[in-house]
Each structure stands twice: as structure tokens, then as C-alpha cells.
Structure 1
Amino acid sequence: MIEAIKFWNEPNNKSHWDLELDPEWKQFSHMVRLASTACAAENPHLTRVLGGISPIDPAFIARLDGAGVLQGVHAVAVHGFPLDWNHWAIHEWPQKLAEIQAVTTLPVWVTEVGVSTFGAEEVQAWGLKRSAELLIGRAPRIHWYSLYDLPKAWPATTRHREAEGSSYYRHFHMGLLREDGTPKLAAHEFSAFTPELGICQWFHFEDHRLDDAVRWLKRLGVTRLRTGLSWADSFRPNADAWFDRQMKALEDFDLTLTFCFTPEHRGIQPHHTSAPQVPEEYAEFCARMVRRYVGGSATPVEAAPASEALLA
């Protein structure tokens, strides 16, 4: 079941949105307003979520609220990696959520939280346990990033590259499983926190790991999965066949689908982080994916843990 869709990924991070082209996020805001309207027309009951922000910045949420973006979504989302990239301590998670809750009445999801094994697997195992303690019960959705290490032959999705120092290489060690599919220490502990803890796993075009990923997710007791459908990939030959295969393989999970990545030939600049030349085209892609994989029926996600009412 597709329970939610997300518009973009980390829009306040230059690795995912070109801030030089759109320094005040006016083009981004317009694009998301168009997309949320188009998806609501296809299915008004489907939960719509603003792409997870990184860093966690209440001023950014307030900016988008002022631009009318939050009127078209049911929730906002944050990403946090205090043991690897952020400039705050892991025990500050409740405070970071409170900072966003102070500027919006919308539920705050945590759609990426994780710890790399760059230094030691024991750090990730401890970070998993502590993150779960701090987040479960405080956010309606929590997705651990990620199931697999990033293959070393693939580039990390960042524009910083080696200028980040060791931070760049941490991208390759975020999985519960190594590149070859063997489990790390944290993988043996993860099922203690499911189903409350979901997983975020991106699948590349025709990703060879898809079927093994499904087996591992079920073995770990995961019921909630966040993944993405790439607007850029939609222009590849046989793109819909790959999307169909991916959605079929993942049909047993409650999915949050992220729509992102500008096709190079449709960006103002030829890069996946660029604002599009025609923002309506992104909205059309989102609406087409909703039409193809959700249709007209959907059950709204709970606005908060436990007993609070469903989203309207």
C-alpha cells in the first residue's frame, strides 16, 4: 500500500537543490504547490508530505509556510544524522523535533535517521538503540537510513564530494547490510524496534538488490518503507517497466514514495538538483505516478502516534 507521497528530498541541502539558482526557494515553493495540487486532484485522501529537510531548520519551514507550501501538505519531515554530519548531539533529538513543532501544527515525520559504520560497527549498533529510544512515540513515522551500504562503484548523491573530508565517505557505510549483503552488528538488533521503525532504501534504476532487499526487510520485520521514484529516471528507456517491477516487489509494505531528481535536459542547469525549466512537468510526473500506483482510493495516515485522529 502506498500510504504517503513526498515532494522532493532535502530541499534545503545543496546536494539536492541548487540554492544558487533558487536562493529564496521561490521556484521550489511554486513547484511543490503545483505538485501538491495535481496530486490532490488525483487522490484527495492520499497523505502528502514535504520532502525531509536537512539540516533541521525551523526558519526554513516558516519560510515555506509563508510561501503557501504547507497548505498543500499533511505533514513535514526532517532528516538527522548527529553522529555523522550534524552539529548537534544525538540526545538533542526531542529538542530538534520540538523546534519544528513550534513553527507548524502539522505532524513532523522523521524520514531519515541513521548512523554510519565508517569508524566502527559498534557505533551504529549503539546509535540505532539510542535513536529508537529518543524517537519512538515522538514522531508518527520514523525511517532508518538505510538497509544497504552504498556500492563503492556508485557516487554518493552529494555535490560536496571529497571537499567534505571523511564526511563524504560516510555516505557509503550507512547500511545495516554491507555492499555484499552480509549483515552488520546493528542488523541483528533492528527487529527489536520494528514495526515502529521503518527503513528508507533508495533503489537505483534496475537495481540488482531489489529482490534481496524485500527478503531482508521481511526478515527484519519491517512494514513501513520509504523509497523513491525518480523523475529523471522516467525518461530512460523502459522506465515504466522498471517502476512497475519495483512497485510490484514492494507491494507488501506500507510505502512512502518520494518524487525527486530533475532530468538534466529539463533543468535550468543540466543537473538533478536544478529547478526545472517548466515546473508543471514535475507536477505532471507526480500526478501520473499517483494515478498509476495509487488510483482514487487511499487511507490517510495517522496524524500522531496512538489514539489521535486521522488526518482530514
Structure 2
Amino acid sequence: MIEAAMIWNEPNNKSHWDMEIDPDWSLYADMVIRAGKAIRDVNPAVTRILGGMSPIDPHWVKRMRGHGALDAVDVVAVHGFPLDWNLWSIHDWPKQIGEIEAVVPEKPVWVTEVGVGSFGAEEVQVFGIDRTAELLIGRVPRVYWYSLFDLPQEWGATTRHREAEGSSYYRHFYMGLIRADGTPKPALEAYGRVAGDMGLMQWFHFEDPRLDDAVAWMKRLGVRHLRTGLSWADSFRPGAIDWFDRQMEALADFDVTVTFCFTPEHLGIAPHHTSAVHEPQAFADFCAWMIDRYASARAAPPIARTA
């Protein structure tokens, strides 16, 4: 059920990686190298993805090459939100892709998050889907729309900036095709026209009550490709494996790109989910464990946790 594994999420964005601890990303690159090897050793058929960058930055990709991280992945991924956060036009998507292709021509580029929020006007989101589809479907091998559901405001967004972003922070809660109360937005119909060619990116929180509804909606829309996450931090919660098993079983009918990220506080150099870790092999071991459990190359039942 896992066709690809992404090694962290937006590692060049301070909302997801603490650059004060790791200013040159050498610690992150070490994690990529170890995790890439671990995933390959368990199942060489799983595509390994360098954590989707945001902002799109060819200089950061060159830095990753210098650290040797590109040798441990098969795909380079980008995230873009030109009508909400990025300081470039939505019409510049081909240019943004081309800048990354120019510095890493030997690997495909996937767009593993692209989205347009309805914070300002729901009609803008409809335009965003239509224009994104025109520009990216057929231009890159994979495109994932973020997201299916609005983030409930009472949950809060995973970001270091929070209200300091001003109105930009509140855009986090309007990126879905379906409102937090379960009612569809106009953009849902527009997405449905391209769902077979444009995947969805949907985070599921620990024991997320929206899981079954998400699966029903995705099947109704004709979604084939899904990107989601398995949280390293959540793996230490009581009942984590029951939740992971339930989540992955529910998603078994989709081609899943799973994102491995979020540092357990007790393993970080700082006690925060964005921190680099004291023992990077521990993250690689988590990745290997998840691939072995949900995408093993062996015809075997899921393994039990040993550590």
C-alpha cells in the first residue's frame, strides 16, 4: 500500500525543522542518508523522496547534494502555495519546477503539496485548482492537492509562526475542499474533474475521527494517489500501533506516499518536534520498521515492535 516514502516534511522551513540547531542541514542530511538506506534495505521498490521543500530553493538542493543526501533518494519534492504564502505567481509553476530540474537533472521532481485556500474567497480556490491542473498535470509525475478537509480551528496548525503570521496564519484553516463542518466547497467539484490525475495530501492526526469520511470521499471522487504521514513522535503514544494499523488498513486501496517526520521530544537535541536528534539512526530504524510493517518486500504478516 506504500509506493513512496518521504523523508521528513519541509525540512527547509522553520515550522518543521529547527535551523538554529542545524544551520547547514548537515544533521538532516545524515538522517536522509541513513533513512534512505534503511528504506532501500527493507524494500528497494519503495520510492524514496527528499522531504518536500518549502520554499522551492535550488540552492538548498545544491547543499543537499554537497552533503551526499541526493544519493540516498530517488525523487526531489517541492511544495508551493503561490496564492497564499509564496511570493511568486501561480503562473510561474513551470519556472519553479524548471529551476529544480536544472540543479538535479538526474531525478524526477514531484509536487507533493500544492494548494489554494478559500480564506479570501471560495471562487479563488476553484480558479486555483483549475489553473494548477493546467500547469502541472503532465508536467511532473505526481501532483498532490493540499488538502481534502479544512483544519478545524480548535486543533491549531503545526507551525512555529502562529498568530505572528497575521492573516497568513488563518489561511492554514481554509486549505481544504471540504469545510470543517463536513460540507463541500465549490472547489470540490473542480477537483473531482482531475482527481484521477491529481492526488490528495491529507494529514491524519492521532486517532483522527475524519479517517473513514476521508476514505469515503476519496473513493467517491476517484482519487488514486494519496500522500499522508506516519509520525515518529506519535509512535511513542499508548495505542500508536493500533492507530497506525487502522490508518494504513483504511488507506489500502490507494497508492500511498507516506511521510516520516516529527521528532519525539525525548529524543531531540531540543525537546521539540522540529529538532534534530542525538541518535539519527533511531529515525532510520523507525522508517525501516514502518516500511517492514506496511510495505515489506517479503510476503509476511506485520512485525511486532522490538524497541
TM-score bracket for the superposition, by shorter chain length: over 0.9
Q: Does 1:150 align with 2:151?
A: yes
Distance, in Å, in 2 between the alignment partners of 1:234 and 1:282 is 11
State the AA in 1 paired with 2:115.
G
Change over 3 Å in CA distance of 1:157–1:245 after alignment to 2: same
State the AA in 2 paired with 1:176.
L
Distance, in Å, in 1 between the alignment partners of 2:3 and 2:31 is 22
Unaligned runs of 5+ in 2: 300-307
State the 1:151 CA deviation. Answer: 0.6
State the 1:194 CA deviation. Answer: 2.0
1:226 aligned residue: 227
2:111 aligned residue: 110
Q: Does 1:18 align with 2:18?
A: yes
Distance, in Å, in 2 between the alignment partners of 1:97 and 1:32 is 22
State the 1:9 CA deviation. Answer: 0.3
State the AA in 2 paired with 1:165.
G
State the 1:297 CA deviation. Answer: 6.0
Q: Does 1:251 align with 2:229?
A: no
Structure 1 counterpart SS, 2:16: coil
1:309 aligned residue: none
Distance, in Å, in 2 between the alignment partners of 1:5 and 1:28 is 16
Structure 1 counterpart SS, 2:292: helix
Distance, in Å, in 2 between the alignment partners of 1:50 and 1:281 is 18
Kept after mapping to 2: 8 A contact 1:11/1:51: yes
Distance, in Å, in 1 between the alignment partners of 2:118 and 2:130 is 14
1:94 aligned residue: 94
State the AA in 2 paired with 1:56.
I
Distance, in Å, in 2 between the alignment partners of 1:181 and 1:218 is 16
1:305 aligned residue: none
State the AA in 1 paired with 2:88.
W
Q: Does 1:289 align with 2:272?
A: no
Distance, in Å, in 2 between the alignment partners of 1:212 and 1:121 is 22
Distance, in Å, in 1 between the alignment partners of 2:90 and 2:13 is 20
TM-score by length of 1: 0.94
Q: How many residues align?
A: 298
Q: Which consecutive aligned stretches of 4+ in structure 1 deviate over 2 angstroms post-superposition?
A: none
Structure 2 counterpart SS, 1:193: coil
Q: Does 1:120 align with 2:121?
A: yes
1:85 aligned residue: 85
Structure 2 counterpart SS, 1:194: coil
Distance, in Å, in 1 between the alignment partners of 2:159 and 2:213 is 26
Kept after mapping to 2: 8 A contact 1:142/1:198: yes
State the AA in 1 paired with 2:59.
A
Distance, in Å, in 2 between the alignment partners of 1:239 and 1:197 is 30
Distance, in Å, in 2 between the alignment partners of 1:118 and 1:193 is 22
Instruction: Supply the RMSD in Å over aligned alpha carbons.
Output: 0.9
State the 1:35 CA deviation. Answer: 0.6
Q: Deviations over 1:34-54 (max 9, x none)?
A: 111111111122111111000
Distance, in Å, in 1 between the alignment partners of 2:38 and 2:3 is 17
Percent identity, please: 65
Q: Which runs of structure 2 are paired with 1:1-312 in the superposition (5 Å)? A: 1-104=1-104, 105-296=106-297
Distance, in Å, in 2 between the alignment partners of 1:264 and 1:167 is 27
Unaligned runs of 5+ in 1: 299-312
1:302 aligned residue: none
Kept after mapping to 2: 8 A contact 1:149/1:178: yes
Distance, in Å, in 2 between the alignment partners of 1:222 and 1:44 is 25
Q: Deviations over 1:71-98 (max 9, x none)?
A: 1111010000000000000000000000
Structure 2 counterpart SS, 1:34: helix
